[in-house]
Each structure stands twice: as structure tokens, then as C-alpha cells.
Amino acid sequence: MKEVRRVKFTGKNLNDVFALPCVRKIIKIVDKPQLIIDQFMLVGNPLLMGVAYIGDELVEYDNGQWEIVRN
């Protein structure tokens, strides 16, 4: 798999990350936004729900799958 793009979730770029095809919804817990990622678009086990937190990076691969990279 070849990396196509990498987007860092800063918490201030909500419009940019919500436009990504892998993001299903944005929730806010204790005033901090979190991204809910489509489980079937994630690399690895599709049974696990993907949640991206502020500081994480979303990586898109050339096969259409995404990965959450924790920082």
C-alpha cells in the first residue's frame, strides 16, 4: 500500500476533516472533538470502531483504506 495523503487532526480543522470520505461524524466529549471513522474503511480489523483524537493523523492509502496514527 502506498500512502496518498496524511491529515493531522488539530481540533480546529473540523470542516477539512469532516469532508474526508472516512469520517462518519464528529462528536464532542468534555469540549474536545473526536472523529468517528467508518470501520469498513480502516486498515486492519473492520470490527473495531475507529476514533481519532486531537493530535492523531489520518492516513489514506492508494487502495482506499485509512489508518489512524496516534501521536
- The confidence band for 45, taking pLDDT boundaries of 50, 70 and 90, is low
- Sign of the Cα pseudo-torsion (63, 64, 70, 71, in order): positive
The pTM score is: 0.89
Output the pLDDT for position 46: 60
DSSP per-residue codes, 17-58: HHTSTTEEEEEEETTEEEEEEPGGGBSS-TTSPEEE-TT-EE
